[in-house]
Structure 1
Amino acid sequence: MVKQIRNKTLWVTGASSGIGRALSLRLARHDNIVIASGRRYEALAELQKLCPERIRVLDCDVADDDAMAAVPERLEALTGHLDMVVACAGTCEYDDDLQLDGLSYRRVFDANFFGVVNTLRSALPLLGASPAPVFAALGSLSSVVPFPRAEAYGSSKAALDYFLGAVRADLCRTALKVVLIRPGFVRTPLTARNDFAMPFLMSAEQAAERIELGLCKGRNTIDFPRRLSWPLRFLGSCKALWFHLCVPKLTRIRTLRKH
C-alpha cells in the first residue's frame, strides 16, 4: 500500500497552479486540512470547491514582504498549529543571450528564495505547536549542475538549497524536520513556456505523488525522477565532464555581444 500523509494540518504555497495545486488537492483527499495559498484568489476558490471541507484559502504573495507581515495573524485565524508546510511558490525567467537584467534576477529571487524565507518566518510559530513539524520547499534539479540560460533560476534554487541546509543545521536540536524537494521537468504553466525538449517530463499529479511518498519516508532530500537525478548528480560531482560533454550542446551563445 502506498504511504500517505493523513490527519495533518498543512500549509501549501503556490497552490493556485502546477505542483502546489496538485499537492494541495491530493493531501486534502487524504483527510488532511490544507491551507492553500497563492496570489490568485479566484484560482484558489476553484480549488477549494473540489474539496470544500478540507481546503482553506489564504491568498497571499510570498514575494511581497509587506503583505506577508500580516500572514502569521491570518494563519492563526485559520488554525492553531501547522504540522507541515510545503513551499511550492516560484517562478522562472531565462537569461537569453546573457543580458544580465537585474530586475529579472530580482523577480526570480524574490519568488524562489525570499518567498521561502518569508514563508518559513510566517510558519515557525505554528510549526512550534506541532510535536513533529516539517518544513519542505521546492527546489530544482537545475541547482545540481549549471545550465545555460538558467543563471537567475538555477542560482535562486542553489541559494535555496544552501538556506535550507543552514536552517536544518541551526535547528538540529529541535523537532523541526527540513526537507529539500528537487523535481525535474514537470508539466505546469511555467514549463509550458519552455522552448526546448524536457526529458522525463511528468504530470503535476505524478510529482505530487512523489513528494508525498518522500515526505512519508522521512527523507531530507526528495529528488525525482531518478532517471534524471542520478545522471545529474554524477555530473555534478564531476563538473569537468558536464562542461566538456554537455553544455556545448545546450548553449545558444556562439559569440560575445559587441557594443
Structure 2
Amino acid sequence: MSNPIPLDDQVIWLTGASSGIGEALTDALAPRCRALFISARSEDKLKPLAARHDNVIIATADITDEESLYKVAKIIDEKYGHLDTVIANAGTCEYVDVTDFDAALFRRVLDTNVMGLVNTTAAALPLLRKSERGYLIGVGSSVSMLAMPRAQAYGASKAAVAHFLESMKADLTAMNIDVSLVSPGFVKTPLTDVNDFPMPMRISAEKAADAIIDGIEKRHWHIHFPKTFTRILWFIGQLPAFLRHRITASMSRTDEALKQRHAQESDS
C-alpha cells in the first residue's frame, strides 16, 4: 500500500462540524489541509467557522438524510474530482431510564449514530476510491469497551459503529482505503455539558482534536483517548463477567430512580 497523503495535500470532509469535537477539528485541520468541507444541519452555525479559514467550504447536510449527503458529495466531486478523507463525526447521545423505558429513544440514537455513519460512507466512498489513498474515519466511543448503566442505546450504537468500521477495514484494504475508529473518553462538549453524572478525566475538545489529528497522520486503526481512561475501561471489560457486572451495577442509579418514582406515586 502506498504511503499516506500528507495532510496539506488532502481534501477532507468533516460531518458534525458545528460544535464540540467537530468545531475543534475544523480549527485544527483547516490550517493543515488543502480544503476542508464542513457539514452540519445548520448553515448559520457553520458560517462563523468558515469565516475563520480561507479553505473551509460550508456543505450543509443532515446525516439522516441520504439525499443531502449525496448533494455534498456532488459538490466535492465537481470542485476537486475526489475526496481523500471523510471524518464521520456527527452523532447524538441519549441515556436510558429503565424505570420509564422508551423504544423511540433507541430509534433516534441508532438512526443518527449508525445509519448516519452508513449514509455518510455511502456518499463518500465513490469519491474516496478516486483518491490516491482514501481514508474513512468514524467516531465511536470508549463506552463500547464496557457496557455501562444507562448507555443501552448510545453504547449499542457505538458498538455497532466499531463493528461496522472494522468490517469495512477488512474489505477496503484491497481498494487502498484506510479505516480508523476514534473512541473518545469524556470530552467537554455541548452534549456532555448536560450530563448529570461524574465524568472522570474529561478533556477539552481542543485536546481531543489534537489526539485525533495525531492518529490521523499515523493512520492508526484505533485512535482512543485519554489513554489512561480508555485503558481502565478496556481492562474492566476483560474481567470475568461476574466481576464486570458487579462493578457496573455499583454505578447504576436505578435504585435512586425507583425511590423517586415511588415517592411521586405516593404523593399523587
Q: Which TM-score applies when normalising by structure 2?
A: 0.89
Contact kept? 1:210, 1:224, Cα under 8 Å: yes
Residue equivalent to 1:36: 38
> 1:89 and 1:239 mapped to 2: Cα distance?
34
Which residue does 1:60 correspond to in 2?
61
Percent identity over paired residues: 40
Deviation of 1:6 (Å):
2.3
Query: Displacement, 1:67?
Result: 3.4
Aligned length: 254
Aligned pairs for 1:92-107 within 5 A: 92-107=93-108
**5 Å matches for 1:147-186?**
147-186=148-187
Change (3 A) 1:135 1:82: same
Indicate the larger mover: 22-31 or 181-190: 22-31
User: For residues 34 and 147 of structure 2, what CA distance do their matches in structure 1 show?
Assistant: 37
How much does 1:152 deviate?
A: 0.4
- Do the aligned partners of 1:5 and 1:212 also contact (CA within 8 Å) in 2? no
Contact 1:145 1:239 in 2 (8 A): no
1:116-135 alignment to 2 at 5 Å? 116-135=117-136
Secondary structure of the residue that 2:7 maps to in structure 1?
coil
| Structure 1 pair 132–148 and aligned structure 2 pair: CA distance change class (3 A) | same
Determine which structure has the larger helix proportion and give its number.
2
In structure 1, what is the Cα distance between the partners aligned to 2:86 and 2:19? Answer: 17
Counterpart position of 1:18: 20
Structure 1 residues 71-82: aligned runs within 5 Å: 71-82=72-83
Task: Kindly state the Cα deviation for residue 48 of structure 1 after the two structures are TM-superposed.
Answer: 0.3
Question: Where does residue 190 of structure 2 map in the other structure?
Answer: 189
Counterpart residue type for residue 203 of structure 2: M
Question: How far 1:30 moved relative to its partner?
Answer: 1.6
Q: Deviations over 1:146-168 (max 9, x none)?
A: 01111000000001111111111
Of the structure 1 ranges 165-174 and 200-209, higher mean CA displacement relative to structure 2 is found in 165-174
- Residue 31 of structure 1 deviates from its aligned partner by 3.9
Larger deviation, residues 177-186 vs 103-112: 103-112
Asked which structure has the greater CA Rg, the reply is: 2
Structure 1 residue 242 displacement after superposition: 2.0
Q: Which ranges in structure 1 are unaligned for 5 or more consecutive residues? A: none
Paired residue secondary structure (2:14)? strand
User: 1:186–1:203: 8 Å Cα contact kept in structure 2?
Assistant: yes
Q: CA deviation at 1:102?
A: 1.8
Q: Could you list the per-position Cα deviations for residues 12-56 of structure 1 after superposition, in whole angstroms to 9, with x for gaps in the alignment?
A: 0000111111111111022431100001110111100111x1100
The aligned residue for residue 3 of structure 2 is: none
SS in structure 1 of the partner of residue 120 of structure 2: helix
Tell me the TM-score normalized by structure 1: 0.92
1:46 alignment counterpart = 48
Task: Answer yes or no: is 1:91 the counterpart of 2:88.
Answer: no
When structure 1 is superposed on structure 2, of 53-62 and 5-14 the one drifting more is 5-14
Match of 2:224, SS?
Answer: strand
Root-mean-square deviation (CA), in Å?
Answer: 1.9
The equivalent residue for 2:114 is 113
